[in-house]
Amino acid sequence: MLALTNKKSLILLIAALLAAVCSTLYYKNMCVTGACSYDLIMNIISPIEIAGYIISLIVLPFLFLPSKYFTTWLKYIFSWGFPLSIVLVNILHSETSWLVISKSDVVRMLGTVFGVLTLVVIVVQWYWSKK
């Protein structure tokens, strides 16, 4: 049976899930009744919900890996990737051209990129630990 080995990743997992669940609950309780504008839903609530679920999926494997994997990922991927993602989400979305890319779509694309980078970090860290 796999044991929980990394408490720091658990904290990030809980924070990401909390952001996703809170934005979902806000949408279901406030926005369904018409209290939210379309811009609020598409530009804030939906991207936060998607990002929360993506981050929690990315962090999940680190719960069962040695803490040096999470520390390496946090130092080399998350520390620059998360702030860069926030900037890119605000820059890359386009709703005025013939190609409509919402902020939620940009979050999904960046989540895929960072998911692949996370797998690369895990494999490289595993390789170096076996040497």
pLDDT of residue 106: 87
Q: Give the 3-state secondary structure of residue 125.
A: helix
pLDDT of residue 114: 93
How do residues 15-70 score in pLDDT, each as one tens digit?
A: 999 999 999 999 888 888 888 888 888 888 999 999 999 999 999 988 888 888 88
- Whether 93 maps to a domain, the answer reads yes
pLDDT at 11 over 70: yes
pLDDT at 1 over 70: no
- Whether 91 maps to a domain, the answer reads yes
- Whether 45 maps to a domain, the answer reads yes
Domain count, the chain: 1
> Average model confidence (pLDDT) for the chain?
86
- Whether 32 maps to a domain, the answer reads yes
The range of the structural domain enclosing residue 27 comes to: 7-130
- Whether 1 maps to a domain, the answer reads no
Residue 10, class by beta-carbon neighbours within 10 Å (0-12 exposed, 13-18 middle, 19+ buried)? middle
- Whether 94 maps to a domain, the answer reads yes
pTM for the full predicted model: 0.84
